[in-house]
């Protein structure tokens, strides 16, 4: 290992906003976190649904509107131009007269 290029290694104390604390290895002595495995919904099993101002309902409304719009669109057939029906060599004959 090269000297003087690596940070100092500490046994850091991690403190969560919920009050839980534990020790890990880090390059700083103290670490403050907002959420940890003791209070995170994934680890505790207490699922919280965070729906800020009805965002899920808003999305479902837009999705329903989009499916209605796509069903209403019809495909228009494109007809061949009149010059396509003339025999070969006759397509531009009437334009010069």
Using only C-alpha atoms, the chain has a radius of gyration, in whole angstroms, of 35
Q: Which CATH number fits domain 1-49: 3.30.70.100, 4.10.80.400, 3.30.310.50, 2.40.110.20?
A: 4.10.80.400
Percent of the chain with pLDDT over 90: 25
Cα atoms in the Cβ-side hemisphere of radius 13 Å centred on 1 = 5
Is residue 94 pLDDT above 80, yes or no?
Answer: no
Residue 15 makes CB contacts below 8 A (sequence gap 6+) with 21, 30, 31, 32, 33
Is residue 6 pLDDT above 70, yes or no?
Answer: yes
- Give the pLDDT of residue 73: 61
Query: If you search the block for the tokens 């207490």, which residue do you land on?
Result: 46
Identify the residue with better confidence: 70 or 59: 59
């Amino acid at each position: 290992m090269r000297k003087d290029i690596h940070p100092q290694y500490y046994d850091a104390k991690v403190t969560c906003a919920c009050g839980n604390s534990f020790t890990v290895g880090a390059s700083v002595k103290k670490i403050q976190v907002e959420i940890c495995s003791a209070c995170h919904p994934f680890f505790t099993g207490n699922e919280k649904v965070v729906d800020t101002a009805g965002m899920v309902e808003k999305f479902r409304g837009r999705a329903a509107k989009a499916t209605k719009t796509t069903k209403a669109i019809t495909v228009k057939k494109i007809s061949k131009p009149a010059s396509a029906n003339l025999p070969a060599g006759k397509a531009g004959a009437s334009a010069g007269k």
